[in-house]
Amino acid sequence: MENILTISNISKRYGKIHAVSDLSLEVKRGQVFGILGPNGSGKTTTLSVILELIRANSGSFQWFGQTPDKESRKRIGSVIESPNFFPYLTPVINLKIVADIKNIGYDDIERVLNLTGLFDRRNSRFKTFSFGMKQRLAVASALLGNPEVLILDEPTNGLDPQGIAYIRELILLIASQGITIIIASHLLDEVQKICSHVAVLSSGKKLFDGQVREVLAISDSFDLAATNIELLVNTVKFHPSFRSVITNAEKIQVFFKDHVSPEELNRFFIHHDVILTHLSERKRSLEQHFLELLNNNK
């Protein structure tokens, strides 16, 4: 699959503060790539570097397999700061101004207003918009000219639950049209629902990158039951990956050091002449994985 963005060992310092430290990432065509981390982790700095809003102290990056130039920039749309348009102008006129800046025609304005659900408010003044609508207009402006990549910095920040849900569905709709999306966010739940891939940053350093589904496929623990609970507890302790167990009257919850599949676990108990009456797998959430990475990095 084609690399849309390649980041190679980028570092950015502000005095003694290392905002980004030796960061390398690859984003491939069609991915919804989340850059996840707490405030101050280097997310916005990373986006600012790859959009050439600031210059890195070291390292390099490529868009579409080549050094960034005027033509490659035209293939990228972005929303980095809070929506900022002329308050007394309508969405149509504001988008015409954006189109003039991008040196493109006005024929795409109707499409992006429809896509972002703002067409019916096309003649309203920007100052009458809710914050969520302002955010959607910013996305509409970024989509003018039909870019191949859309970059969003904290797109749901400050929105109410309804606004968050709308932006989430909008991002998924845009992604379904084949546009590669890069999102910086500190909201784990939204990243889990939206993104296909994720990189976790902390203090400017990458702690993890990979597919979200790989993280979610990792078992956190198993709930087990058998006719003889005491025998079940004593037996599971012989498993080579056993870590700990929590017992109650009817079931036990078992934690393992390594990944264990339900099939392998069932075979283990059969081999030890224990018949399970209950086996259920508890999947690890992205939040659990994220907190685990942060704790291990302290």
Give DSSP secondary structure letters for 203-266: TTEEEEEEEHHHHHTSEEEEEEEES-HHHHHHHHTTSTTEEEEEE-SS-EEEEESS---HHHHH
Q: Is the pLDDT of residue 23 over 90?
A: yes
CA distance 163 to 143: 19
Residue entry with tokens 């939040």: 287
Q: Which pLDDT band holds residue 259 (cuts at 50, 70, 90)?
A: confident
Residue 23 CA: distances (Å) to CA of 8, 26, 51, 133, 262 = 7, 10, 15, 34, 37
Confidence of residue 85 (pLDDT cuts 50, 70, 90): very high
**CA–CA separation, 188 and 192 (whole Å):** 6
- Choice between 291 and 146, residue whose per-residue pLDDT is larger: 146
Residue 292 is predicted with a pLDDT of 66
The pLDDT of residue 228: 92
Cα distances from 257 to residues 28, 113, 245, 291, in angstroms, run 32, 51, 12, 17
DSSP category for residue 66 = B
Beta strands 205-211 and 197-202: pairing type?
Answer: antiparallel
* pLDDT(243) > 70: yes
Domain 218-296 fold: Alpha-Beta Plaits (3.30.70)
**Residue of 243 and 231 predicted with greater confidence:** 231
3-state secondary structure of 93: helix
Q: What mean pLDDT comes out for the span 35-43?
A: 88
Mean pLDDT across the chain, nearest whole number? 90
Q: Distance between CA atoms of 69 and 279, rounded to whole angstroms?
A: 56
The per-residue pLDDT for range 169-227, each reduced to its tens digit, is: 999 999 999 999 999 988 888 888 899 999 989 888 998 888 887 766 666 689 999 99
Query: Which two three-digit tokens encode residue 100?
Result: 């003039």
CA distances from 280 to 214, 219, 242, 248 (A): 19, 10, 16, 16
The single-letter code of the amino acid at 148 is: E
Residue range(s) of every CATH 3.40.50.300 domain in the chain: 3-215
pLDDT above 90 as % of the chain: 65
- Helix boundaries (H) for the chain: 43-50, 70-73, 91-102, 109-115, 131-143, 161-176, 188-194, 212-216, 229-236, 262-271, 286-296
Residues of the chain with CATH 3.30.70: 218-296
Pick among 1.10.3720.10, 3.30.470.20, 3.40.50.300, 3.40.50.720: CATH of 3-215: 3.40.50.300
Find the length of the chain. 298
Average of pLDDT values for 117-124? Answer: 94
- How far CA 222 is from CA of 4, 27, 69, 210, 268, in Å, comes to 39, 34, 52, 24, 14
